[in-house]
Structure 1
C-alpha cells in the first residue's frame, strides 16, 4: 500500500483521545509550539516523517507509539504486527524511542491511572500555580493537559519532579512510589532487567510489561542471572491473549425457588446484582484484564452443573488462567440455583482440578463467590443480604473453609464473607464485596509494579470491613483461601 495512504488509514482508525496521547509521547521530537496546529493523527504522522521518525521502510516508531497507547487492534490490522512481537522488539537495547527510562513515558503512565475525581483534585491543588482561566475552561480536560500546563509554568521537568511528587502523595501514594522508582533508575541506584515471562517481585508496565528491578551492585555480582531466573519462577505466567475465560454465573430471579420450595418462600430476588455483572463492574474490569467474558444468568442448580461441566471440558491450553464469579443466594458451603436447589461450592471448584481439567493443570484457578455463608439475616429497605433464612440463629460449622477449596494446588477462593455470616447487597449499586473487588482490581493492576492478587484481596478486606449497615450496624468481612504456589498478577499490558 502507498505509504501516505497507509498513514491516512491508520489516522482514520484513531480517536481524539489517541491523538492527545500520541502528541504527548512525541514531544521529544515535535515541540509543543509545533504541535499546536496539529489537529489530526495524519498531520502528526507527517510532522514525524519530516523529522525522520517515520519512513516508508521504517515504521518502528509508529508501531511503538500504537503499542504504547494500547491500540493493538490498529497495530495488528494495519501494520501486521502484534503485542508479542513488540514486546520482543522493545527488549532489544536501544530499540525503544519512547523509553520507559524517560520522564515523558513515566508521565504518560501516570495520566493513564488518573480517575475523573482525581483529575478534579489535581486541578484544585494547582489552582494557585496555574492560570484559573485555563483550568476552568475546555483547554484543560485531561491529565495530559494538566501535565503540559505544569511544564509550561516550569513546575515539571526531567530533573524537577518535586511538585508532581507532592501532589501524588496527597492524591494517590501508589503514583508517588512509581515516581520514586523512576528516580532510582535515573540515579543509577537500581536498574531494570527485562526478562521473558514475569520476573521478580516487582513487575512493571515497562518495555515488555514484565520487568525486574535489581540493585546496580547486584547486577555485577556472581549468580545474579541465576537469581533472576529463580525469581521468575515465583510468578504465574500471565501473557496469553486472552488471559483466559472469566465465567460469570449471575442469579437474580428466585421466583421459582419461592414457588417450589416451601421453606424458601422468603427468598428475595437479588435486586442490584446486575450492577455487579452483565455490562457493569465484573465485565468491565475483567475485559480490561484481557479475559474473555462468558456470562450466564438465572440458572437452576442443574444449569450451573451443566455449565460448569461444559467449561471444565473446554481446551484451556492456550490460556494462562481461569476465573469464575458466582453471584447468588447461599448458605454455609453452598450456593443456590434459582430453583432453590443447593450446590456445594467444593463441587464447583473441584471440577477444575488438574485431574478433572488437565488443560488448566499448573495454572491459577480463581473463584469469587458473592453469597451468604450463614443465616444471620439483615433486615432493611435499601440494603439486602444474600441469605436464605429469616431468623437470627447462627450455626457453627468450622469445616466450611477447609472443605470448599480443593487440596490440589493453584486455587484461589475469594469469599464475600466468613462462615456463618451474611453478605450485603445494595439494591441499586450492587454488592459491597464485588464492587470493592472490581474497584481495587482496576486501580491496582495497572500500577507500575503491579499488585499481586492476595495484596489486592487484603485491601478489599480492609475496605469492606469498614462498611456499615446503618440500620442495624451490620458488618461484613470477606475471606480468601488459597493453594496458590506463586504470585498471581494480572498485567494490563
Structure 2
C-alpha cells in the first residue's frame, strides 16, 4: 500500500511531457502498441508493475527513469535516492535498463529547439505521413515514426545523422559518441571475451560516465570522452536575465533595528553593466528597481510561473542591502534568499528542469573586513571611495542540480561598492563575461578570473580586501556563446 501511495503522489506531479519521456525510454520493455493506450501516469506505472519492471522491493528501473529525465526532485523526495547514488549505481555492469540507443535519442530530443524541430519535420516530409508531422508532434513522436518506417534503429543512424548535419551539427557529436561506444563494445568482446549482456550494461553506463570505459584506448579518443558535456545554449533569447536593483532606501525611510538604510549609490552603474553584457549574450532583460519585499516576492513568482520551455537558461542578479540569509526590500522588510533560489528548482519551475539557473548576489555577508597580506604587485590604482552593502549571510544553494550561485564575498565579510564606478564584484564580472564569452570560456573559468581580480583590490581607507565565492551544482560546462 505504501508503494502504491508513493506512485500515486508521483503521478500527480508529472506533466504530459514527463509521461511521454518515460514511455519513450521504456520502449524496449513496453511495446508501442501497448503504450498507445496509456494516457496518464498511473496506467504507465501499472504497466511497469505488470511487466515486473518495478515493485515495492525493486525500484531500480523507476529510479533510473527519473534520473534519465532529470526529475531529481522526485528521485530525492519520493524515491530516496540522489544523482550521485544513481551515477554510482549505473556504473555497475548490467545495471542500466534504458538502452544506450534509446537514451541517445532522448538526449537529442532534449537538445533540439522548436525551430529545429520544424526543420526536421520539413526534411522528413517525403518519408513520414503528413498526419504524423503536424504542429502537435514532438521530436519523440518523430523518432517513433522513423523507427516504424525502418529509417532509424540501433544500427541504422545514417538518415538521422544526415538530418542532424543539415539542422545542427552539434547534435552529430552525440551520435558519433554513441557509435564510438559501439566500437568499444566490439573491442571488449574481442579482447576480453565478455558476454554481450555485460557489455551492454557497460555501454549503457557510458552515456553517463564515458571516460570510465576505454581507459586503455588511444589518447585522442580518451581525451574526447573525458571532456565534459556543455549545456545547450542555442535558443533566442537564451532566457531571462532578471535584475532586482534596489537603490533608494532613504526616500521611504527604511529602518532596520533602529538604523536607517542608506541609498545604494553606484548600483545603477552595476545594473547598466549587467544589462549591456547579458543583452550581448542574447538574454531578454527584465529589470525591476526599488521594490518592496512584497513586490520582490510577486516578481519572482511571476517568472517562476512563466513558461521557459523554449529557453535554455535563467539568470537572476540581486543588488540590494541584506543581512544573514535575507535581502531587504526598499521598505526595510526581509526577503529570504532561500525563497528566491528554490522558486526555480525543477519541482517549482518545471520548464527550467535540467537547465542552468544562475544567481549573482551583490551584498555583504557580514561586518568583518578582510585584511590583506603584503604582496608585490606591478601596479594598482584603487578607488578609496567605497561603501558596503550591509550584512548578508547566504548558506543556501538548492541541493538540486544545475544551479550556480555567485556571491560577491566570503561568509562573514563585507563587499565593496563605489558610488561612482559600481561594485568591485559586478564590474569585474561583467568585464570578464564581455571579454571571455567570445573566446568560448566556461562560466567557472570566468568566475575564477573574477576571484583573482577582485582579490587584488584594496579599500585604502580600511586596508580591506574582498574575495568572491561561487557555489554550484552544475553538471555540465556552462558557456554563453555570443553568436
CA contact (8 A) 1:25 1:98 kept: yes
Query: Which runs of structure 2 are paired with 1:105-120 in the superposition (5 Å)?
Result: 105-120=103-118
TM-score by length of 2: 0.53
- Map Cα deviations across residues 190-243 of structure 1 (whole Å, 9 max, x no partner): 999xxxxxxxxxxxx966855427757538x9xxxxx99xx98x99xxxxxxxx
Query: Which runs of structure 2 are paired with 1:160-239 in the superposition (5 Å)?
Result: 160-188=156-184, 209-212=208-211, 215=214, 217-218=216-217
Partner of 1:103: 101
- Map Cα deviations across residues 437-457 of structure 1 (whole Å, 9 max, x no partner): xxxxxxxx98xxx5x56xx46
Report the CA distance shift for 1:295/1:49 in structure 2 as closer, same or farther (over 3 A). same
Q: How far does residue 53 in structure 1 lie from its aligned partner after superposition?
A: 0.4
2:305 pairs with 1:275: no
Report the CA distance shift for 1:270/1:181 in structure 2 as closer, same or farther (over 3 A). closer
CA contact (8 A) 1:130 1:150 kept: yes
Partner of 1:293: 359
Between 1:26-35 and 1:88-97, the stretch displaced more is 88-97
Which secondary structure does the structure 1 equivalent of 2:126 belong to? Answer: coil
Which secondary structure does the structure 2 equivalent of 1:79 belong to? Answer: coil
| Alpha-carbon separation, structure 2, partners of 1:166 and 1:103 | 17
2:147 pairs with 1:151: yes
Between 1:182-191 and 1:78-87, the stretch displaced more is 182-191
Report the CA distance shift for 1:206/1:292 in structure 2 as closer, same or farther (over 3 A). farther
| Alpha-carbon separation, structure 2, partners of 1:58 and 1:182 | 29
2:30 pairs with 1:30: yes
| Alpha-carbon separation, structure 2, partners of 1:250 and 1:306 | 18
Report the CA distance shift for 1:38/1:158 in structure 2 as closer, same or farther (over 3 A). same
2:421 pairs with 1:342: yes
Which secondary structure does the structure 1 equivalent of 2:211 belong to? Answer: strand
| Alpha-carbon separation, structure 2, partners of 1:82 and 1:40 | 25
Q: How far does residue 155 in structure 1 lie from its aligned partner after superposition?
A: 1.1
| Alpha-carbon separation, structure 2, partners of 1:20 and 1:147 | 12
CA contact (8 A) 1:75 1:81 kept: yes
Partner of 2:296: none
CA contact (8 A) 2:91 2:209 kept: no
Select the residue among 389, 406, 412 that pairs with 1:323.
406
Report the CA distance shift for 1:216/1:77 in structure 2 as closer, same or farther (over 3 A). closer
Q: How far does residue 248 in structure 1 lie from its aligned partner after superposition?
A: 7.7
Query: Which runs of structure 2 are paired with 1:335-374 in the superposition (5 Å)?
Result: 341-343=420-422, 345=424, 367-369=429-431
Report the CA distance shift for 1:71/1:414 in structure 2 as closer, same or farther (over 3 A). farther
| Alpha-carbon separation, structure 2, partners of 1:268 and 1:85 | 41
Q: How far does residue 410 in structure 1 lie from its aligned partner after superposition?
A: 3.1
TM-score by length of 1: 0.52
Query: Which runs of structure 2 are paired with 1:120-159 in the superposition (5 Å)?
Result: 120-136=118-134, 138=136, 140=137, 142-159=138-155
| Alpha-carbon separation, structure 1, partners of 2:25 and 2:433 | 46
Which secondary structure does the structure 2 equivalent of 1:94 belong to? Answer: coil
Q: How far does residue 10 in structure 1 lie from its aligned partner after superposition?
A: 1.6
| Alpha-carbon separation, structure 2, partners of 1:189 and 1:143 | 28
CA contact (8 A) 2:315 2:359 kept: no
Structure 2 residue runs of 5 or longer lacking an equivalent are: 189-203, 229-240, 252-264, 288-302, 317-343, 345-353, 364-382, 409-415, 436-445, 454-473
Q: How far does residue 59 in structure 1 lie from its aligned partner after superposition?
A: 0.8
Partner of 1:77: 77
| Alpha-carbon separation, structure 2, partners of 1:165 and 1:117 | 18
Partner of 1:306: 388
2:300 pairs with 1:284: no
| Alpha-carbon separation, structure 1, partners of 2:104 and 2:154 | 10
CA contact (8 A) 1:67 1:86 kept: yes
Query: Which runs of structure 2 are paired with 1:362-401 in the superposition (5 Å)?
Result: 367-369=429-431
Q: How far does residue 277 in structure 1 lie from its aligned partner after superposition?
A: 5.1
Aligned-pair RMSD on alpha carbons?
5.2
CA contact (8 A) 1:191 1:214 kept: no
Q: Count how many residue pairs are aligned between Structure 1 and Structure 2.
A: 317
- Map Cα deviations across residues 15-55 of structure 1 (whole Å, 9 max, x no partner): 11100000000000011111110111111111111111011
Which secondary structure does the structure 1 equivalent of 2:112 belong to? Answer: coil
Q: How far does residue 314 in structure 1 lie from its aligned partner after superposition?
A: 5.1
Which secondary structure does the structure 1 equivalent of 2:388 belong to? Answer: helix
Structure 1 residue runs of 5 or longer lacking an equivalent are: 193-204, 222-226, 236-246, 326-334, 350-366, 374-407, 416-444, 464-493
Report the CA distance shift for 1:105/1:303 in structure 2 as closer, same or farther (over 3 A). farther
| Alpha-carbon separation, structure 2, partners of 1:146 and 1:414 | 49
Which secondary structure does the structure 2 equivalent of 1:276 belong to? Answer: strand
Which secondary structure does the structure 2 equivalent of 1:170 belong to? Answer: helix
